[in-house]
Amino acid sequence: MQRIVILGGGVGGTLTANLLVKKLRRRIDRGEISIIVVDSTGQHVYQPGFMYIAMGGERAANLQRPERSLLDRRVQLVIGDVVAVDEAAHSVTLGDTRTLPYEYLVLATGSRIVPEEIEHFDQEAHHFYTAEAAEKLRAALDQFSGGRIVIGIAGMPYKCPPAPLEVAFLIEAELRQRGIRQSSTIDFCSPIGRAFTIESVSEMAAPILERKGIELHTFFNVEAIDPEHKVVMSLEGEELPYDLLILVPPHKGQQFLIDSGLAPAPGGWLPTDRATLQVGGRPNVFALGDATDLPLSKAGSTAHFEAPVVTERIVAAIEDREVDHRRGDYLGKVMCFFEIGDGKGTLLQFDYEHPPKPPKPNQLWHLGKIVFNKTYWHTVPKGRV
């Protein structure tokens, strides 16, 4: 029996499990292979939908389904918290002391938000990285009747890089529609020297920010929040007063990856080969999605395009054959929609060698994102697209 243990029931873990079943069905049915997905909650959450809770029109209940319902029946689902990976013993230990031995390990453990790393973040700053936080932000926007809105990024890397810009554009449009744009200011704070990490996207976004009257502050790395005076301060010495503060919280990888010696502190991102997706040169340990240290968007789309690579590499090893490099090398492909407000969007499609060339924003790409969000459950996790 060869055991494939996949940690994480998000996009990457679920899709990898289902793709492995497609390739190894007969061996699984003969009892030669087992595939186990370990997830801490047993619930699969469609995180890109959180932003739409905050921007109105989406409900948290629509963004969650039982992980079991998305997995092929041949995949075993174990619900529990992973506390350690024992590389010497080739096993994973869960919080309830169960151990799961493996021959192949897939780390699809995502990222976690750590707002507590910035004092007063929880009391003062809104965000949209959990359903609950997005609901609170929606309520705050409903109560907002004009004033200063500051939107920023309180740590890099973070999930869904376009999201803060999208939120800025969508809020600007909402304020205009509600007739309170003239009595409001919007500041957008970027930790780097431009609006977005990728230069071509920044060149697209900067004129839109200007046209919408959103002031861009570059090199603004959030250092502190003064709740008494309602001011957010940057490491670079800038201070911005706010009435409504929206910050992307700092993100990290999972603590047990650091504790197990798989990922370096303090970030906890797994050192991952950009082509093979192997972790630290280990032939039987793979990472995908947010958990890696690859210089790519932490987004479901990244995991979506990485899952076939991990699948091919594990299947090739099990079948004792050479890797088919057409399917088994990751070229850095990522594709995501980008909202710019007023019912328009654009598309970011890129890989390691080709930066995105976003098409002129239009209604089609906005609708594309809406359709993708609605059809996600039937397509991505099951490997149909």
φ/ψ bin of 165: left (φ > 0), alpha (ψ from -120 to 50), beta (otherwise): alpha
Q: Does 164 bind another protein (CB under 8 A)?
A: no
Distance of CA 76 to the CA centre of its chain: 25
φ, ψ for residue 234 (rounded to 5)?
-105, 160
Contact code string over 167-206 relative to another protein, x by CB under 8 A: ------------------------xxx---x---------
Pairing of strands 64-66, 75-79: unpaired
Q: Which residues pair with 126 in a beta bridge?
A: 246
CB 73, CB 17: distance < 8 Å: no
Of the candidates 89, 235, 265, 385, which one interacts with another protein according to CB under 8 A?
235
Q: Does 219 bind another protein (CB under 8 A)?
A: yes
Measured from the CB atom, the residue of 139 and 265 that comes closer to another protein is 265
Please choose, out of 214-222, 253-261, 309-317, 355-363, the segment that lies near another protein by the rule CB under 8 A.
214-222
CB 34, CB 4: distance < 8 Å: yes
Pairing of strands 104-107, 285-287: parallel
Q: How far apart are the C-alpha atoms of 385 and 383, rounded to whole Å?
A: 6
The torsion of the CA quartet 254, 282, 355, 217, rounded to 10 degrees, works out to 30
Measured from the CB atom, the residue of 104 and 220 that comes closer to another protein is 220
CB 85 to another protein: min, Å: 25
Of the candidates 57, 237, 321, 322, which one interacts with another protein according to CB under 8 A?
237
Binding-site residue total for another protein (CB under 8 A)? 12
CB 330, CB 277: distance < 8 Å: yes
Of the candidates 140, 156, 180, 275, which one interacts with another protein according to CB under 8 A?
156
Measured from the CB atom, the residue of 18 and 272 that comes closer to another protein is 272
CB 188, CB 216: distance < 8 Å: yes
Q: How far apart are the C-alpha atoms of 42 and 349, rounded to whole Å?
A: 31
Please choose, out of 9-17, 68-76, 217-225, 364-372, the segment that lies near another protein by the rule CB under 8 A.
217-225
Of the candidates 56, 261, 295, 343, which one interacts with another protein according to CB under 8 A?
295
Measured from the CB atom, the residue of 235 and 364 that comes closer to another protein is 235
Measured from the CB atom, the residue of 185 and 197 that comes closer to another protein is 197
Q: How far apart are the C-alpha atoms of 316 and 313, rounded to whole Å?
A: 5
Q: Does 142 bind another protein (CB under 8 A)?
A: no
CB 197 to another protein: min, Å: 6
Binding site for another protein (CB under 8 A): 156, 191-193, 197, 218-219, 221, 235-237, 295
